[in-house]
Structure 1
Amino acid sequence: MTNSNGRAKSPLPRSYYVWLSGALASILGDAVLYFALGWAAATHGGTVAGLVLTAINLPRVLLLIVGGTVGDRFGARRVMIAGDGVMLVGTVVLAVVAHESGPAVWLLVAAGVLVGVKDAFYLPASGSMPLRLVGKEPLPRALAMRQGGAQLVTFIAGPLGGFLMAAGGLTGTALLNAATFVVVLVIVIAIRPVHDIPPAKGSGSFLHDALDGIAVGWKDPVLRAALITTGGVAGFLLPVIPLLLPLLARDQGWSAGWTGVVFGVQSLGLLAVTLFVMVRGALPRPGLAAATGVLVAAAGTALFAVSAAAAIPAAVLVGAGSGLFASHIGPLVLMSAPNSHLSRMQAMLTLVQSVSLLAMNNVMGNLARLTTATTAVLACAAAITATGVAALCSRALRTTSTAEPGPEPVAREDIGAAEAV
């Protein structure tokens, strides 16, 4: 079988399937724990619930660049082993203390801080693992498989979390999460990435290395355009379904059942594109494909404002556009980043998403309150369109091709930001 570039597809190594099974188990455990912490915090009121969510998100945002720098300096695999070990101990302690004293506020906040700090170090390292395990040519299919699996796991995490909280409370949920960390810890220790990259030689100054990661992401034209586009998508597209769609549904009198169907159709659209990339491979110009996906999602977002009858095709377009963007922008960033900066570029990618989403959730929510949900949706559609057009105007992003993948240029391996671009 050949991919969309007309070449025979390289098979994914067995080690990737093993790692992916552990990664998905970890995602499931984390999603269930997030649900459990939010549910337990809600029993103390809205203020505590917001405090616990802040305890998770704030350390993650503040420490992402630090976590990416640590991953590049000491090796992604070592960081993951340390993170899994810390979380294994932490979730067991959470289970024991919750069993003895109940879900006290201080315990929930401490657990949130632990999760946020772990994510800041773990996400950049984990994000670079597919490239280390499969190499460049099969990378889009590998990332699409991970994205599709994560979508399915997240879909079942909510009902599973509710069942576990009803059956075993926070203690039982924490023990399940601890079990997932045992699985992934054994897997990460056992596998040896075929395409692994030695830890980067640091400058001697941790701060310099952290700032160098930011500089490389900003000065490289492909990475800069990819990061800016990702920030626009995170800020204006990601709030549409979870935040604005329920508000729009209430304003226009949609039933809860119909709104739920629209939610599901959007996920199906995203999964359909993800499965296509898994089977056929990515398109040869990932930046162009990602920008096209943004414009498709913009059209779907605007269509939401028409009527309830247009919601289904709108959801399909939003899901398909999101899938087209996500399945191409991730491989593009990994393949464009210098080998010495893989974890730091993953940290930058996560950071721009987190900051944009955190800010625009509040902006769009208040815009819907001060005007109407329809106005907020149309504003998002206009901003998403501008983001897609700007991406197409970036020659570096639009013309970058993966048709003939080759080895990373030697000049970009271990050089500083000033020389890397």
Structure 2
Amino acid sequence: MLWLVGILVSLAGNAVFYFALGWAASEYGGSIAGLVLSAITLPRVLLLLVGGAVSDRVSARRVLISGDAAMLVFSLGLAVAAYYLGTPPLLLIATGVAVGVVDAFYLPASGSMPRRLVVKAQLPRALSLRQAGGQVINMGGGPLGGVLVGLAGFAGAAVVDAVTFAFTLVVLMVVRPRHDLPSAPRTAILKEAADGLRVAFSHAVLRPSLWLTGAAAGFLLPVLSLLVPLLARQEEWGAGAAGLVIGAQGVGMVAITLVVVKNGPLGRPGLLSASAIVLAGVGVLVLGLSASVTGAIVGGLIIGVGNGIFSAHIAPLVLASAPETHLSRIQAVLVLVQSLALLFMNSVLGTLVDLTGATAVVVICAVMLVGVGLWGLASGPLRNDRTGLASH
């Protein structure tokens, strides 16, 4: 529980800081804002596999402690620099690079920690609790960031972020993994990083799980962040309606994760994950074909239920199926698959909207999600896997 508190505090600090960073960058126009976001994403993607290999080699806890300590010092230095210099583009880009580099090492280590802290049977509850808390924080992070930036500026947001890093650092000093896991034989670090890819895509359960995750990142996440606002503008529903659709998705997702927190997994994780992608696809179809805001909200709620079932079962399935010697590397591959799919499909779908309109693109996403979900159901190893159900 202490680990969860530390993670949620860290997520809250990041949500506030990312808003402040984006807001500061937007002052210089879209090109600079996009460059700052790319400065975060590019080093993260390039270094993720190395970050996972380092975490498996030297221990996830040490990587997390080093990352929090580095970001604590960096955030304090950034606050001083912003106080005296303001927020010139070069400072914002350098900040993005620093965040991206640390994330490349931090995210695989953080993703593997629940497996090191709880037994496999408790993973669905533990990850769902973290997910529910993260959803609440994401919903409140933007407004809180806006208030903070208005009161204390970018420098103030950096100080708040430093405080959250300090808190998480203290938590990591206290929390120690309960389960001793074996280490893989050491080779060259790049060879170890590549071995994470080999293991991930040669494993009978991990391989379809990763493809499902990539499909969700490529065809589901952009619906919420990119296509809902574009659809609302096309249909002249207004910003408020777009917010209600996204809010309905959040309600459905949080409701499912809380059910899993209370009762544990709802059934075979692979079967439910693939079925949930189909359900989310149906919700996207309802959204795309809706002639009214009410119908779109219903679609958003269905999407949230499907997304909630998927997230609550695919994450513990991947973590529990990963070999104990490759926990962080498999998490690195998972984040990499999501990041690459999201980066690529945001650009593709945005271009398609300009060519065909938002409705057609939303329907295309729905068809793809249903198709990928049905493909997942056809995978015997994924469909029949009973990881986490031994106690049932």
The amino acid that maps onto 1:49 is: A
The amino acid that maps onto 2:243 is: G
Q: Residues 204-353 of structure 1 correspond to what in structure 2 (within 5 A)?
A: 204-306=187-289, 307-308=291-292, 309-353=294-338
- Taking the aligned partners of 2:114 and 2:288, their CA distance within structure 1 comes to 39
Unaligned runs of 5+ in 1: 1-16, 407-421
- Taking the aligned partners of 1:203 and 1:393, their CA distance within structure 2 comes to 37
- Residue 151 to residue 403, structure 1, CA distance change in 2 (3 Å): closer
Alpha-carbon RMSD: 1.1
- Taking the aligned partners of 1:403 and 1:253, their CA distance within structure 2 comes to 46
The amino acid that maps onto 1:249 is: A
- Taking the aligned partners of 1:246 and 1:293, their CA distance within structure 2 comes to 24
Question: Once the two structures are superposed, what CA deviation does each residue of 1:80-105 show, in whole Å capped at 9, x if it has no partner?
Answer: 00000000000001000001111111
The amino acid that maps onto 2:131 is: Q
The residue aligned with 1:100 is 84
The amino acid that maps onto 1:40 is: A
Given the alignment, which residue of 350, 361, 368 partners 2:353?
368
Residue 123 (structure 1) aligned with residue 111 (structure 2)? no
The residue aligned with 1:87 is 71
- Taking the aligned partners of 2:370 and 2:199, their CA distance within structure 1 comes to 27
Residue 142 (structure 1) aligned with residue 126 (structure 2)? yes
- Taking the aligned partners of 1:374 and 1:111, their CA distance within structure 2 comes to 37
- Taking the aligned partners of 2:281 and 2:156, their CA distance within structure 1 comes to 42
Please state how far the C-alpha of 1:258 moved relative to its aligned partner: 2.2
- Residue 403 to residue 147, structure 1, CA distance change in 2 (3 Å): closer
The amino acid that maps onto 1:170 is: F
The amino acid that maps onto 1:231 is: G
How many aligned residue pairs are there? Answer: 389
The amino acid that maps onto 1:254 is: W
Question: Once the two structures are superposed, what CA deviation does each residue of 1:333-379 show, in whole Å capped at 9, x if it has no partner?
Answer: 01101000000000011000000000000111111111110000011
SS state at 2:187 partner: coil
Residue pair 1:202, 1:209 contacting (<8 A) in 2 also: no
Please state how far the C-alpha of 1:66 moved relative to its aligned partner: 0.6
The residue aligned with 1:183 is 167
The amino acid that maps onto 2:270 is: G
Given the alignment, which residue of 355, 361, 381 partners 1:396?
381
Unaligned runs of 5+ in 2: none
Residue 133 (structure 1) aligned with residue 117 (structure 2)? yes
Residue pair 2:48, 2:105 contacting (<8 A) in 1 also: yes
The residue aligned with 2:148 is 164
Residue pair 1:141, 1:282 contacting (<8 A) in 2 also: yes
SS state at 2:10 partner: helix
Same amino acid, percent of matched pairs: 51
Please state how far the C-alpha of 1:175 moved relative to its aligned partner: 0.2
- Taking the aligned partners of 1:403 and 1:379, their CA distance within structure 2 comes to 34
- Taking the aligned partners of 1:63 and 1:208, their CA distance within structure 2 comes to 13
